Every structure is written in structure tokens, then in C-alpha cells.
Structure 1
């Protein structure tokens, strides 16, 4: 069976995009306006911290012994840079104990796989705005993560071995309804499969589509792969539904490959 090299797959595509790992890591989210005057949310008890984390796909919290340290204003600046990632701060002793904090720590929490990623004291002492932006940008995986040279690093580093890619033109009339259904399906596979969007209207993403032996005429389509054994499958589709996505994922998890059936149907019959 032909295998798609999963880890080299993302590395190759990353360099095809003309970006080295270092340059890709420097890409930062930025925003101005409404969030410019905002500050991190002060989390004064365990209940508030839990609600803060549960309310967002991705959340960042600075757990500090006190606020008279250089990293605090750097964390404040992240509120302006990341509108889609709520930022909080807590110095409450009960909160720190609940999250097993023994030293100044910045943690990124994400719902999609239940992971918590930490920057601890040694990292924090050397951190600056660029490095903290990089840490957040690379690791902020949501229910659906759009593929780009930065997010691919976070996907590559995730402990979830199976990724599902929806290859679709974001400019199509069906996009908004389709992505909503795709997001709903993603919640059914929390911690099992990472859901990714590949915008087929972007020329550079053609390399990703080609890796899965798909043509533009077959899009939109789903492609799924597992990094552990480099297994993969694809499903061209006309309409996206939660049920269809769920069935495709369940089939892959059960070892049923639609691609094999299609290939066997195309193979010429030989009379014995």
C-alpha cells in the first residue's frame, strides 16, 4: 500500500512555501483597535479560572507570584495581538496551587486536545514579545485550524496523531455553512483527531492537495492521515454534513479505507 510520509509531508510543504522554520516561527498575529485598551482578565479564584478556560477554544494565563516582574507587561501586550485568544492573569495562591504552579508560569490551554503547554521560570526570564507571540501563534490550535506555515508547526508538534483536512475554497458560497458543520463534527473527536482547513483558493496550498492525489475538480474533499503508521484516505464530496464527516472518521479509525475500494474498482479485470 502506498503511504504518505506524514512528518516529511509537512516539512516538505513548509519549505515549498519558501519559509524556513525560523522565518515561519516569526510570523505573528496582530490587531489594533477594540482590544488596544484592554488588559488581561484578573482571575481571583479557582472557579473564575476554570470558567475562563472552559469558555474559549484557546486561553492563555499568566500564573505569577507577584506582578513586579518584566514578563507581566509583555503578557499585557498579547491582548492587543491576539483577539481570538483570551489572556488572563492570576496571583491567587489557591489558583496557583490548583494548577500545580510552583514558579512563575505562562500556560496555554486548548480545548481541541485538552493540552496545557507551559512556559516556566527559566523560559520566562529570557522571553520577549516576539518569543511569546511565537509561542501563542504556533500552539493556538482550535476546533478547526486553518493550514498555514505557522499553524503547521503546532499541528506537527501535537500529540494527536490523526489529522483531518477539509480542502475547500473559502470564497465559495457554501463555505460558511460547511465550516460550521465541520466545526461541530470536530467536537465529536476531541483529543482523537485534529481538524484542519486547507483553503484551496491559495495557490501555495496546491502542494498539499497534490500530496493526497486529489484534483481541483474533486474539491471540496476530506483527507485524513495518521502520523504513527503514515496511513491516509480521502473522500471527495459535494455537501458537508456532521454525519458524513463522522462516518468518514469512524471508518478510518476502524481501519476501513475508501481509497482502497476506489482503487480496486479502477483496476482492470483480468480473466483467468
Structure 2
């Protein structure tokens, strides 16, 4: 129960940042076949469906027994709105049986934690565009996900309990190269640690930075947090390297915190959530 409470408290804290809705939700666009303006990819058999889902960081699949229900056209409209997400559709009985679909359903598959999130039955059959759009925005987590008010919910609903934040300005000259290395490191910890980007250049992110007691002069920095027991640590860095990230994450996983003895005063921000 305590773990659940602390996770909710941190989520509430981060969501008070009130980020502008136009901030992009994901850092890393899929290069593995996102949906096109023409419509979702038809998944006509099980091998095609498996290949489609495994090739994308985020895949949205409409499993429809009935193609005449209103949500099918709503589903098609999402393809244009989320052009960096892979969309598939199927009414093939073998495909539906393979994914244990017994009712009309829309599923979101995430590579980052091998999660399948599902909307089904009456909930999906009468779903409006706004609700489906929110479901996709909230849950489209990637190997590296940029934190904002919408992705915040998805970040704290994942089964991955350790989150690594790279706090860096996206306007910095070194940003692109640092992100390249950060993405490479993310693949080493897939399923174990959720990698997040926090743009320190956004005023709305100041509370996230202060939560980890980081000063602007210490940025860029890595901040790691474990949701079930509130353990966290930070590491100011001059540049992001795969080795730095790996050593920091390995040390945390092994229980080696850089700052072993935090005082009760250092934990005060969590109490004030």
C-alpha cells in the first residue's frame, strides 16, 4: 500500500508542472514503419501481425469482428493524427484468436516493457475520437520518452519500477549527440529501467528538477528513481556516454547509491507532495 501511495504522490507532484499541451510526447520516432496517411496496415494472418507488432516501438492494432461499427472510422482517423505510431487492423479470425480477442478491441503494444494495453467490448465500440486519442497519447511509451503531462500518466502506470531521467536542455549544441548515446544505453536496460527525457529548457520542468535537488549549474544530469521505496540518486555529467549511463544504472541496481546517507531534510520535498 505504501509503494502505491508513494508512486501516486510522485505522479501528482510531477503533474503539477502543467506542461504546455503542445510539447511533443515522445523523443524517439519509430523508424520501423509508422502508420501512413492512407490508413492502417491490414494484418491478414498471424505471421504478418507478429512481424508488424515486433517491428514497432509502439503499435496500435484494431481487432474488429465487425468492421461496420462506428469506432472503425474513428480508428482510421488516428493514423493521420499520430504519424509516428504504427497502426494495424485485422478482422482475421486466426489473428484474433492468436491474441485472445473475443470482442471488438483496440490494443496498444509497447516494446519498452512488452506490455499490451487493451480497450474492448462496449467501451471501444462507442468510443469517441477524443477518448481514443488520449489513450494513445497517454500510453505511447518508447525506449526514451519525453516527460509531459500526458506521458506522465503512462510513465507511472508501467510495470517498470525504476525510471532514469536525463535532464538536459534540448536547445544545447550537444543535445543530439547526447541523445544518441542515451538511446543506445536505453536498449541495454530494456524492461528493467524506463528511460525518460526532461527538457531543462522548459520552465514547466523546474519542479521536476528541484524534486531531485538539482541546480541549473549541475546540468546536464542523470536522475534515477525507484517507485516502490522512493530511493533515488543523481549524477551531474558533462556529457552523456553509454559507459556513464550503464555504470550509474548498474550501481543503482546493485544498491550502490552515490549518496548513501540522506538526511531527513533531504527527503522533505517528498513529504510536501
Residue 210 of structure 1 corresponds to 210
Matches within 5 A, 1:99-110: 99-110=99-110
Structure 1, unmatched stretches of 5+, are 30-34, 264-272
When normalised by structure 1's length, the TM-score is: 0.86
Q: C-alpha separation between the residues in 1 aligned to 2:256 and 2:115?
A: 29
Residue 15 of structure 2 corresponds to 14
User: 1:213 deviation in Å?
Assistant: 0.6
Instruction: Single out whichever of 7-16 and 220-229 deviates more from structure 2.
Output: 7-16
Matches within 5 A, 1:54-65: 54-65=54-65
Q: Which runs of 4+ in 1 moved over 6 A?
A: 26-29
Residue 249 of structure 1 corresponds to 249
Structure 2, unmatched stretches of 5+, are 1-5, 26-34, 264-273
Change (3 A) 1:37 1:239: closer
Matches within 5 A, 1:1-80: 6-17=7-18, 37-80=37-80
User: 1:46 deviation in Å?
Assistant: 0.9
When normalised by structure 2's length, the TM-score is: 0.86
Q: C-alpha separation between the residues in 2 aligned to 1:126 and 1:228?
A: 36
Matches within 5 A, 1:177-196: 177-196=177-196
Change (3 A) 1:36 1:87: closer
Indicate whether 1:222 and 2:201 are aligned. no
Residue 238 of structure 2 corresponds to 238
Indicate whether 1:143 and 2:143 are aligned. yes
User: Which is greater in Rg?
Assistant: 1
Residue 266 of structure 1 corresponds to none
Change (3 A) 1:231 1:262: closer
User: 1:248 deviation in Å?
Assistant: 0.6
Any conservation in 2 of the 1:28–1:137 contact (CA below 8 Å)?
no
Residue 176 of structure 2 corresponds to 176
Change (3 A) 1:247 1:36: closer
- Name the Cα RMSD after superposition: 2.3
